[in-house]
Chain A
Amino acid sequence: MVSIKNLYLVLYNVIQTIGWSIILFKLSIHLFETQSPVGVWEKVGALVSIFQYAAVLEIVHSVFGLVKTSAATTFIQVFSRVACVFLAQNVPTTQNHFFLSLMLMSWSITEVIRYSFYALSILKIDSYILGWLRYTTFIILYPTGVTGETGTIWTSLEFVKNTKFMTLTMPNSLNFAFDFHNILIFSLGFYVIGLPYLYTYMLGQRKKFIASHKKGSTTNIKKTN
């Protein structure tokens, strides 16, 4: 008997897998046909926005203990991505840039693997191939994803500065000022700190995954003898 919690989580992960698969498919065809990053956001922007904003639910899942991952870590990861989508939606200079295509391609490959792996894990279906992909593709896709994200932030800076987009100046009744341009520059520093940390963490997870499957295969051999 599948619990309501597991049913919901499987449904969530399956929907995300389908969503990101469509994005990956559309993105690949567009890039293959046009050989250019121009028009990428027009093609997949709406879908990316829907499925990336939906990932905010993952923070909720962590907070309410539906999944074991730390709420703080999930928040940082989801927030950085949502921020990049928000930039792509609102800053025209990012939309036709190579960095955006790199970011979206990295995300979509990662997410198709990740969400399908999670869905099968909840159903207790052990797919070694998906697991191996989950813990191996990041070696290339994390650096490309981060390059895409930081590049997208970088290409938005001039527009944000010139138009004072999302910038609040004093005096005001809240006695608060918010300089989005400076915040974006500041956020680039977090990527510099965050990537090595996340990368080494994932390498550790990969080691664990491979070790556990080696154990599994040896026990299987013992059983068959």
Chain B
Amino acid sequence: MVDIKVVSQRSKKEVGSFSTSSSTTVGELKKQISSKTRLGTERIRLAVPSKTSKLPNAFEALGKDSDLVSKHVGADSTLYFKDLGPQISWSLVFICEYAGPLFVYPIFYFLSNLIYGTDSPKSFAQKVALVCYSLHYIKRIYETIFVHRFSHGTMPIFNLFKNCSYYWGCTAMVSYFVNHPLYTEAPIERVYLGLGLWIIGEVFNYICHIQLRNLRPAGSTERKIPRGLLFEFVSCPNYTVEILSWIGFSILTQTLTSWIFALMGAAQMWIWAVGKHRRYRKEFGDKYPKSRKILIPFLL
């Protein structure tokens, strides 16, 4: 038996001393801490001082709850505790952030008089844009409920406000200009080109999500190398085609704000894709296909 000292990461005050054996898992230790601190296990993060980071006071979180504590604890038998704050389930966050655009976007379409002080008949491009934008978020909600499997159960509740502000705010920014009475429609061939790219993007995005779902058996957090179709070319084709989808939407709507939204989304997805690509490389080593790029086939 080993007594492990758990210290607050912020204040450096001792939370308590906990008895562990060589077979005690991180999850079991969290339960012990939970009963002492009265905090749910999902709020508890345990970490050790980072060996790789150059920054002072940098910490590395312990791995999965199924990992053995003995694998992580150093000679001083000390772990660092951080309260992650109130938590909320990933799926609930996603549903909230995706449901918002479904209500916000049509406000500008249907309540022109109220918002712009004038009304005008909607053009073909504006009608198509409403359908595309709404279908995109209906698809996302459907995938959140029926397709995605989340490896983490919860996230800090602050993320709900942050993510909702982003999605709802950007929707208002896009919809305001797309549905403006003085909106200038793009040439019809450009509308069809944009719509075509949007459809290709959405269909392939759904296919990628199904492929990712089938990689992971229900109730498991096990990771495998994704294979088949676009996964042979890039690590995160779901992001590649989502960016394509938003480029299509921007072409068909011909609005600066749509392009800004597409660019912001692409930048965020690039950051996620780089992280995921590195994790795949680290986790699977030589087994991971060397020719596979991050986001853009054959290039990047």
Structural contact, B182 and A174, CB atoms closer than 8 A:
no
What residues of A have a CB within 8 angstroms of the CB of B180 in the complex?
170, 175, 177
- Which residues 171-220 of A have a CB within 8 angstroms of B? 171-177
What residues of A have a CB within 8 angstroms of the CB of B211 in the complex?
none
Instruction: Say yes or no: is B183 at the interface (Cβ < 8 Å to chain A).
Output: yes
What residues of B have a CB within 8 angstroms of the CB of A176 in the complex?
177, 255-257
Instruction: Say yes or no: is B254 at the interface (Cβ < 8 Å to chain A).
Output: yes
The binding surface of chain A is classed by DSSP as loop
What residues of A have a CB within 8 angstroms of the CB of B177 in the complex?
170, 175-177
Chain A 161-175 interface mask (CB, 8 Å, partner B; 1/0): 000000000111111
Structural contact, A171 and B183, CB atoms closer than 8 A:
yes
Structural contact, A170 and B183, CB atoms closer than 8 A:
yes
Structural contact, B256 and A174, CB atoms closer than 8 A:
yes
Given the complex of chains A and B, what is the CA–CA distance between A21 and B256 in angstroms?
A: 42
Q: How many residues of B contact A (CB 8 A)?
A: 11
Q: How many residues of A contact B (CB 8 A)?
A: 8
Nearest chain A CB to B295 CB, angstrom units: 21
Which of A171, A174, A175 counts the most chain B CB atoms within 10 A? A175
- Which residues 63-120 of A have a CB within 8 angstroms of B? none
Given the complex of chains A and B, what is the CA–CA distance between A174 and B255 in angstroms?
A: 5
Structural contact, A173 and B184, CB atoms closer than 8 A:
yes
What residues of B have a CB within 8 angstroms of the CB of A170 in the complex?
177, 180, 182-184
Which of B178, B182, B253, B257 counts the most chain A CB atoms within 10 A? B182
Given the complex of chains A and B, what is the CA–CA distance between A177 and B177 in angstroms?
A: 8
Nearest chain B CB to A58 CB, angstrom units: 20
Nearest chain A CB to B70 CB, angstrom units: 35
Nearest chain B CB to A183 CB, angstrom units: 14
Nearest chain B CB to A31 CB, angstrom units: 43
Given the complex of chains A and B, what is the CA–CA distance between A176 and B253 in angstroms?
A: 12
- Which residues 207-264 of B have a CB within 8 angstroms of A? 253-257
Closest to B177 in A: A175
What residues of A have a CB within 8 angstroms of the CB of B184 in the complex?
170-173, 175
**20 extra interface residue pairs, beta carbon distance < 8 Å, beyond A170-B183, A175-B254:** A170-B177, A170-B184, A171-B183, A173-B184, A174-B254, A174-B255, A175-B177, A175-B180, A175-B183, A175-B184, A175-B253, A175-B255, A175-B256, A175-B257, A176-B177, A176-B255, A176-B256, A176-B257, A177-B177, A177-B180
Q: Which residues of A contact B (CB under 8 A)?
A: 170-177
Q: Which residues of B contact A (CB under 8 A)?
A: 177-178, 180, 182-184, 253-257
A-B contact pairs, 21 of them (CB 8 A): A170-B177, A170-B180, A170-B182, A170-B184, A171-B182, A171-B183, A171-B184, A172-B184, A173-B184, A173-B254, A174-B254, A175-B177, A175-B178, A175-B183, A175-B255, A175-B257, A176-B177, A176-B255, A176-B256, A176-B257, A177-B177
Closest 3 CB pairs of A and B: A170-B182, A176-B256, A175-B255
